[in-house]
Amino acid sequence: MNDIEAVRDLKKGSKVAFKYLFNTYYNRLVAYITTYNHNIAQSEDVVQQTFIRLWDNRQKLDEDQSPKGYLYAIAYNIYCDTLKTKKKQEKLMSVIWERALRDRIEEDMDAKERRIQKMRQVIDSLPPKCKEIIQMNKIQGIKYKDIAGHMGISIKTVEAQMRIAFTKIREAFEDDQLFLFVVLRKFDHHNN
């Protein structure tokens, strides 16, 4: 059997002719597609799809021509289609990832804003002297001894007022352990 005979028989539905063409061109087509994608498994998938398309379109074949050019063209087109599909999938994944990242950033920013608002509320709810001391120390960066001198109170009183502030902050953020840990570490590293 040669290619022309195989095409004529294939058009009549001959599985023997199909097997002949498959055995003749399968390895060549895999090698051909592998020169583009460098992936034998993917090339084999492309070539299998090529032969499925050959079978489905067997009635369109020219009985006077070898199917070689047709097979190579089909294989190449299927390869290009898989490449486009892969690029679309990669683009879609990139868009999904970017959107998820943006949502996470927005979520983090919202959470940060809520924490800041909550912290302001906690500080605003402190007794006046306690509020003034925490603002002087944590916002203005004034040391305990300088606060004591400025307010005419002892360092022990400043420390006691800071402990009151820490307690209120702990209570307000007890459900937000990570934030509480970060805030209290900052508060505990005070300048005496």
In a domain, 98, yes or no: no
DSSP 131: H
Overall number of domains in the chain: 2
Same domain? For 86 and 23 the reply is yes
For 50, list phi and psi in degrees, rounded to 5: -60, -45
Could you report the per-residue pLDDT of 100-128, keeping only the tens digit for each?
777 777 767 777 788 788 888 888 999 99
CATH number, domain at 43? 1.10.1740.10
Q: Is the pLDDT of residue 16 over 90?
A: yes
Residue 31, domain member (yes or no): yes
Work out the average pLDDT over 164-190: 67
Residues 10 and 85 in one domain: yes
Taking the C-alpha atoms of 17, 23, 25 and 27 in order, what is their torsion angle to the nearest 10 degrees?
170
State the pLDDT at residue 117.
Answer: 85
**Do 14 and 75 have their domain in common?**
yes
CATH code of 153's domain: 1.10.10
CB 54 within 8 A of CB 21: yes
Structural domain span for residue 169? 125-188
Query: What pLDDT score does 130 carry?
Result: 92
Residue 7 vs residues 25, 32, 59, 149: alpha-carbon distances, Å: 13, 22, 9, 103
**One domain, residues 16 and 77:** yes
